[in-house]
Amino acid sequence: MKHFKITEFDSPDVKGSGVMMDDSFLDLLDDAREVANTPFKINSGYRTEKHNSKVGGKPTSSHTKGLAADIHCVNDRLRWQIVDALICVGFTRIGIAKTFIHVDLDHDKNDAIWIY
């Protein structure tokens, strides 16, 4: 990866767990970071089932499969840059919240853009 360190994707309860992230997901996210031309701060990447439960994640969370990340974002211009770049590189599952953007590459789920 050009723009990320694998440790940025660690579940907080297991050091080194970022290696559980899916390579195809990381490659696409790296491409999106290049297109956006702005840093992506990862709030959440891989999650153990225990940590996912602790933060109120759904049992079917794509984070537990290493197929999702939440990108820190708190202003409208940056939100546009990130979402535009995610779509540009081919992501089709994006969730938008007040303080983060969720993106995943879970082919077991329908394409969608949603708000939290």
Taking only the tens place, the pLDDT of each residue in 52-84 is 999 999 999 999 999 999 999 999 999 999 999
Above 90 in pLDDT, residue 1?
no
- Is 43 a domain residue? yes
Residues of the chain with pLDDT > 70, as a percent, come to: 100
- Is 1 a domain residue? no
List C-alpha distances in Å: 100 to 19, 23, 73, 76.
Answer: 22, 22, 5, 11
Taking only the tens place, the pLDDT of each residue in 6-53 is 999 999 999 999 999 999 999 999 999 999 999 999 999 999 999 999
CATH number of the domain to which 59 belongs: 3.30.1380.10
> What pLDDT shows up at residue 116?
93
- Is 57 a domain residue? yes
24's CB contacts (< 8 A; 6+ apart) are 105
- Is 67 a domain residue? yes
Q: Which range marks the domain in which residue 72 is found?
A: 6-115
How many Cβ atoms from other residues are within 10 Å of residue 37's Cβ?
8
How many domains does one find in the chain? 1
Strand 68-72 with 100-104, pairing: antiparallel
Average predicted confidence (pLDDT) for the chain: 97
Q: How far is it, in rounded angstroms, from Cα 101 to Cα 55?
A: 16
- Is 48 a domain residue? yes
